[in-house]
Structure 1
């Protein structure tokens, strides 16, 4: 009797368990499938990216080293990220991530280059891909990895859902970076969400990016703090007048980047950097507006709207507000219009005449430039130190 009751109870429990919803197995909702078990690496216990390395090795996108370690601080070379992206594309398009073995006369990474060049439909194929990412030449920078990763996702027709509202970062406006930030794949390197695209990428960082890509549960939500170059680096309000040029006031909102960039990138005296900043303003920012004013040239309503839109789109990049980027775009448009005007006057000599006139205007503006007391009272040494540790010195060729 006891045995019969036990059997009935066992059958009931079995039927009940079979009708309960099963918990999703690890990897069931991953973007790419789990294709293997991750080894127990000898150097990953307690390391910040331990879970990410576990995930990315389960997908087969990255592997450990022959000595049983993963080496999270090790550098990534171009051939490594090409191999990663070739495996990723294969996994995203129904494969198992296995690449062909190299032929006897090939380097170990040649099949990955060939596979990815075909997948990305590079004009020129393998040679074009190698021009962009030279094997065995240098360690990879963050922007290079993100560029190739974005191209791979696009080729595989993968669109990642946005979980963050990221439209601009203080050191890049690149759409690939912004997409991955919005998707929670990239999280920035400081409270401002700075990308630091020109910094080298190590294996642990790559694993973290790829793990978030593979496993939606690891993606990060974040809201960057706004970066204001005037307030955070110069320590002044953007409306503060720092210069008068050609009788016009130049506010910190328009001049802050020129000053901080010159201080950040120059190795000479701060006074020399200040002089460079003023010269750059007079030659590369202001002359188009002044020359256009002399010629009674105005932007059209459409062009004004375009400049205003550029201001809104780029507000926050380099810590500068919409007014700065609107002014910059207005200069770009006026430059084009002025060149056309001079060219139409005389297509043979117009270009040279325009440059001569522009240089004359710039020289006159430089002669008229006067720093205000607000500018001369700034601690340029302190501003240089802050500039070197700010997003403006991390910007560059990040795509």
Structure 2
């Protein structure tokens, strides 16, 4: 969705410990968001940021928005708790011999490999994949009579066969060239999942894998770091990707907003889940939101009795 994934903060929000909201030292009992935070914790939608803290004033990150959307989707489809763990093979790649002996391994966060690829401009269309290797690897992989046969796997799935040889004009690069007439369906499918795979151990890795597996995001690499603050527009898009139509039953008539005509935003207004930021009903799509605000929105999703009826004049 936005800039390539940067695995910058390994455990900035990793703790996310499940505690009753009343046990959070920074959530006063009479706070305007306390009941919503309690409901979200009870339903397994939100957790703490560290031991006994909820951090209600912290800006919500894109990773947090994605994670709560995944929990909503998982629960809506019969799951309980957090979604399944991503497989260890996600974000890994390998070049092997036809008999299965591994020649080279790499992953999305292995910058030392300098992974790049291109297609031939002329016909037949062929993939060329390049990897940086050590001098020892290059010597071991240099074929004695031309390119060696090799099999390319991504995410543990065999995607292409071809030849492996030293790249021309480089002392430390190897080149894999796909066989003529290759079917690139599997390669394109697995590449779209391989490229944005975050590092093993990153706290939102499982949520991102689940989101991709269940069609909650498109097949392109993300365009923004997940550690960056999320905008209200991000929240609307992720909520709508997670919720079944039955969760968006209209209770309001909202045909237009002062600053948005986005169908997903309007659907959330009509369902009483979003209400705007001022008396005009303005959505403020680029504005960030706090964890307290996120809890309030999620509570309306989880408990339809909390949804808000909006006066028609407010948004027309």
Which band: TM-score by shorter chain?
0.5 to 0.7
- Structure of higher CA gyration radius: 1
Which residue of 38, 42, 47 maps to 2:25? 42
Number of aligned positions between the proteins: 187
1:183 aligns to what? Answer: 271
Say yes or no: does 1:221 pair with 2:309: yes
Mapped to 1, the partners of 2:252 and 2:233 lie a distance apart of: 20
Residues 105, 78 of structure 1: CA spacing in aligned structure 2 closer, same or farther, 3 A cutoff? Answer: same
1:107 counterpart residue number: 202
For residues 124-146 of structure 1, give each alpha carbon's deviation from its aligned partner in whole angstroms, at most 9, with x where no partner exists: 2xxx3x5155322x200000111
TM-score by length of 2: 0.54
Distance 1:187 1:226, change over 3 A: closer
| Residue correspondence of structure 1 range 93-172 to structure 2 within 5 A | 93-101=77-85, 105-120=200-215, 122-124=217-219, 128=220, 130-136=221-227, 138-153=228-243, 156-172=244-260
Q: SS where residue 212 of structure 1 aligns?
A: helix
Q: Which has the higher strand share?
A: 2
1:150-299 alignment, distance < 5 Å: 150-153=240-243, 156-223=244-311, 225=313
Aligned equivalents of 1:215 and 1:69: distance in 2? 24
Q: CA deviation at 1:224?
A: 5.2
Q: Work out the CA distance in 2 between the residues paired with 1:207 and 1:120.
A: 25
For 1:142 and 1:49, locate their aligned partners in 2 and report how far apart those are by CA, in whole Å. Answer: 18
Correspondence 1:61 to 2:45: yes
CA RMSD between the two structures: 2.3
2: CA distance between counterparts of 1:37 and 1:50? 11
2-side partners of 1:226 and 1:77: how far apart? 29
> What is the rounded CA distance, in whole Å, between the counterparts of 1:109 and 1:121 in structure 2?
15
Shift of 1:67: 3.5
> Alpha-carbon deviation of 1:40?
2.2
1:77-92 to structure 2, matched below 5 A, reads 77-92=61-76
Deviation readout 1:177-229 (Å, 9 max, x if unpaired): 111111111111111111111101111111111000100111111215458xx
Check 1:105–1:216 CA distance in 2 against 1; reply closer, same or farther (3 A cut): closer
- Aligned residue number for residue 348 of structure 1: none
Q: Secondary structure at the match of 2:73?
A: helix
* Alpha-carbon contact 1:88-1:97 (below 8 Å) kept: no
Q: State whether residues 170 and 194 of structure 1, in contact with CA within 8 Å, keep that contact through their aligned partners in structure 2.
A: yes
Aligned-partner Cα distance in 1 for 2:47–2:234: 20
Could you say what secondary structure the match of 1:147 adopts? Answer: helix
Scaled by the length of structure 1, the TM-score of the pair is: 0.44
Residue 131 of structure 1: SS of its match in structure 2? coil
Look up the SS of the partner of 2:268 in the other structure.
helix
Specify which structure has the bigger relative contact order, considering alpha-carbon pairs within 8 angstroms and separated by 6 or more residues: 2
Q: CA, structure 1 residues 97+119, in 2 after alignment: closer, same or farther (shift >3 Å)?
A: farther
Structure 1's 36 and 172: CA in aligned 2 closer, same or farther, altered over 3 A? same
Q: What is the CA distance between 1:105 and its match in structure 2?
A: 3.0
Checking the alignment, whether the CA contact within 8 Å between 2:253 and 2:312 is kept in structure 1 is no
2:36 maps to 52
In structure 2, the gaps of 5 or more residues are 1-17, 89-198
- Does the residue aligned with 1:169 lie in a helix, a strand or coil? coil
Unaligned regions of 5+ residues in structure 1, if any? Answer: 1-34, 228-315, 317-399
* Structure with more helix by fraction: 1
